[in-house]
Amino acid sequence: MSTPAARRQAPDRDPGLQPERTRLAWRRTTLSGTVVAVLAVKTVLHGGASAAGVVAGALCCVLWLGFLSVAHRRIRTLAATPSPASFAPRHAAAAVLCTVAMAACGAALVL
């Protein structure tokens, strides 16, 4: 069991390759979102351009741009320093919102 004095003098944590792995995960997720947006546009154009389809496809593209913005900001932060700051809760919420809404738009286009 460690004493309080020993815990205060603990060396800084070495993140190792974790920031790089996280950065690569953001890139993969961005690529997946790109595929979703492209398939949404393809579905709208291939199935006949109904008003609801065009709105869902456009919304999917806007959500993709929002996710791309959040992801790009995080990728830059992870690449800039060896020990990056934690992800802001509002950015995390924006990424989740964009992802879930893109999935809903994709489901609406398929159905």
Please indicate whether residue 3 or residue 35 has the higher confidence score (pLDDT): 35
Query: Is residue 7 assigned to a domain?
Result: no
Answer whether residue 5 shows pLDDT above 70: no
Take residue 47 and report the two structure tokens written for it: 């199935």
- Report d(CA 59, CA 70) in Å as an integer: 17
Q: Evaluate whether residue 77 is within a structural domain.
A: yes
> Which among 65, 40, 63, 67 is positioned nearest to 53, based on CA atoms?
40
Q: 19-23, 30-34, 48-52, 62-66: which has the minimum mean pLDDT? A: 48-52
Q: pLDDT tens digit string along 64-111?
A: 999 999 999 999 988 888 778 888 999 999 999 999 999 888 888 877
Q: Which domain holds residue 40?
A: 32-81
How many domains does the chain fold into? 1
Residue 76 lies inside a defined structural domain of this protein: yes
pLDDT at 101: 93
